[in-house]
Amino acid sequence: MRIDLTNKVALVTGSTRGIGRAIAETLAACGARVAVVGRDLAKAEAAAAEIGNGAQGFACEVGDPAQVTALVEGVEKAFGGIDILVNNAGITKDNLMLRMKDEDWNAVLETNLRSAFVAIRAAQRGMMKKRWGRIINIASVVGLIGNAGQANYAASKAGLIGLSKSVAKELASRNILCNVVAPGFIKTDMTDAMTPEAVQALSSQIPLDRFGSPQDVASAVAFLASEHAAYITGQVLTVDGGMVM
């Protein structure tokens, strides 16, 4: 079984580094032409040049709905359509509920959840015309089990799961599949910012006894984007070393 994404176009948000970068590299290695998206155009273009296979860089602040809609239109124009949409960009602004400010709640919900809604709404038209589409939203195990100090982040990731199941039901008749990949603890800039105590507490809960790599997540995304996943929609695939089962 080989994953072949030749002639597919993939848009991956937050793909200049971390998990998004690994997803972009993997989809390109499988033959897709990838729209590499970051807040900074120069960084996105540099990443696209490194990724190759016709990848192009785009700038987008995903917290701004107008920019997300313009991004989808820009990528469709540049590549002639979008087959695979991966909503990966995400942030944390952790605090205990008592100290969590409204702006930290809003920023996380707007960046992690509203961005995906807007991108899907914009990209679905083209996918409907082709009667083929793959939408993959990157949530987190925290969206399934919650986490003290991450009420905003957990709500945004749980929201992505509800959004994805609704999209899966709404678009199934057009052969557009929507699934969630929920990573556990993956080694990136995001987790490098955690305290050693938090890292220790988390890692003791991983049966496979190691942190995941961005590639572990990217491999799951490539599978869900492929023909091999043609009968899978509305699912949450945890990539977490067995943390949540």
Ligand X SMILES: NC(=O)c1ccc[n+]([C@@H]2O[C@H](COP(=O)([O-])OP(=O)(O)OC[C@H]3O[C@@H](n4cnc5c(N)ncnc54)[C@H](O)[C@@H]3O)[C@@H](O)[C@H]2O)c1
Distance CA 181, CA 127 (A): 20
Q: Which of 5, 10, 12, 19 binds ligand X (CB under 6 A)?
A: 19
Segment near ligand X (CB under 6 A); pick from 16-24, 25-33, 93-101, 116-124: 16-24
> Does 14 help bind ligand X (rule: CB under 6 A)?
yes
Active site residue 153: yes
Query: Whole-number minimum distance, CB 114 to ligand X, in Å?
Result: 11
In one letter, which amino acid is 81? G
Contacts of residue 175, defined as CB under 8 A and 6 or more positions apart, other chains included, come to 131, 132, 133
Q: Which of 103, 189, 197, 209 binds ligand X (CB under 6 A)?
A: 189
Cα–Cα separations (whole angstroms), residue 115 to 60, 79, 119, 121, 236: 11, 21, 6, 10, 19
Segment near ligand X (CB under 6 A); pick from 9-17, 98-106, 144-152, 162-170: 9-17
Q: Exactly one of 117, 153, 185, 223 is catalytic; which is it?
A: 153
In one letter, which amino acid is 145? I
Contacts of residue 239, defined as CB under 8 A and 6 or more positions apart, other chains included, come to 181, 182, 183, 184, 186, 212, 216, 217, 220
Query: Among residue numbers 31 through 50, which ones bind ligand X (CB under 6 A)?
Result: 38-39
CB closer to ligand X out of 17 and 165 = 17
* Residues at the site binding ligand X, with contacts judged by CB under 6 A: 14, 16-20, 38-39, 60-63, 88-91, 111, 138, 140, 183, 185-186, 188-191
Active site members:
153
